[in-house]
Copies of this chain bind each other. A is one copy, B any other.
Amino acid sequence: MKHLLLAAAAASLALPVAAQDPAPIPSPGEIAAAAPASDWIAIAPSDLLVMDLAPDAKGQARRVVIQLMPAPFSQGWIGNIRKLAAAHWWDGTSVNRVQDNYVAQWGDATEKKALPKGLMTVPESEYVVGVDMQSIVGPKGVGHRYAPVPAGKLTDSYARFSGFFEGWQVAGQHEPDDPAFTNKGLLPMLRDLPTVVWPVHCYGMVGVGRNPSPDTGSGAELYTVIGHAPRHLDRNIALIGRVITGIEHLSSLPRGTGALGFYEDEKDRVPITSIRIASELPSADQPRYEYLSNQSDSFARYADARANRRDPFFIKPAGGADICNIPVPVRSAAK
């Protein structure tokens, strides 16, 4: 028999549900797949950044699609990125750095290419966002904009609490920060305290390369996480979105042998054919995606299942999960 490491998917492949008695507990992926259409939220093409790399050695196309974060997150950098894409600034640049278990980074390797006029200089204060928890948190902590991670052992090693804010994984704390406040204590006790949240460096998140502080980067130099979540970068560098498809075109690239994983031989750099906002592409070429609403019952069941795997193959549910192990389900909405 094939050794099926990947629990849920494997078991469901091996044993069609109909063939089982009793019916197995669904996997997180199965729960998301079964969510009604009304639980899915369309991602506007204007919020998708489409990066086409030069074809691979076999001549196959390599497209990476990045979802940009909504307000109130990182809008200064994202505004710059929209200008850079509109100016076709990245066309002819390249992926210049791939460091194992860390990041793949792209931009102008020559570092001499002039930037478009009118880019913003964004202050470090924009790494976090102040939110009024009362306005976003509803009964049991699930509001129309925020959902906490499932209860249980669920704590965050890097923040007082973590959860999902309008479709994005975030962490946060109350100001002034008080070690006594934890994820579990967040609600309702802390609902009325000044609170800041920030996006977190999970696998596939896209951030803005920068020089030493107080520089915060323009958005012209971007990277994506291709290893274990480097959460120590949270609040130290801007995150602007996440790769929602095609990350394998970056994560499986040869690792650079230079310092920090930069390619030492420029022939090893991977050419970027173009980067566009999807809404600027011909309609037929515009990718369509949607994500599972954090406020849906389906999402609550999905998140609970991620934290407590009870589907076939598993024998001990963990009783918790870190925020980066609960990715927000995204799927193609191609017509």
Contact = CB atoms under 8 A, between A and B. Distances in A.
A251 interface: yes
Contacts of A309: 232, 236
B154 A157 contact: yes
A59 to B, nearest CB: 14
Interface string A141-153: 0000000000001
Contact of A236 (B207, B233, B313, B325): B313
Task: Give chain A's interface residue range (CB within 8 Å of chain B).
Answer: 35 or more
Given A252-B254, A315-B124, A5 B228 contact: no
Interface stretch (A100-108, A274-282, A286-294): A100-108
Interface in A94-125: 97-103, 105, 107, 111, 124
A51 interface: no
B155 A157 contact: yes
Contact of A321 (B14, B207, B231): B231
Chain B CB within 10 A, most for which of A11, A232, A316: A232
The A interface, classified by DSSP as helix, strand, loop or mixed, is: loop
B236 A9 contact: no
Contact of A158 (B14, B111, B153, B259): B153
Contacts of A154: 157
B322 A157 contact: yes
Cβ-closest 8 pairs across A and B: A3-B209, A3-B221, A155-B155, A157-B322, A248-B255, A235-B316, A203-B228, A157-B320
Given A232-B306, A232-B309, 12 more contacts: A3-B107, A3-B211, A5-B105, A10-B259, A100-B247, A158-B319, A227-B227, A229-B325, A232-B321, A235-B318, A236-B313, A236-B315
Interface of A: 1-7, 9-11, 13-14, 57, 97-103, 105, 107, 111, 124, 127, 153-160, 179, 202-204, 207, 209-213, 217, 221, 223, 227-237, 247-248, 251-255, 259-260, 306, 309, 312-322, 324-325
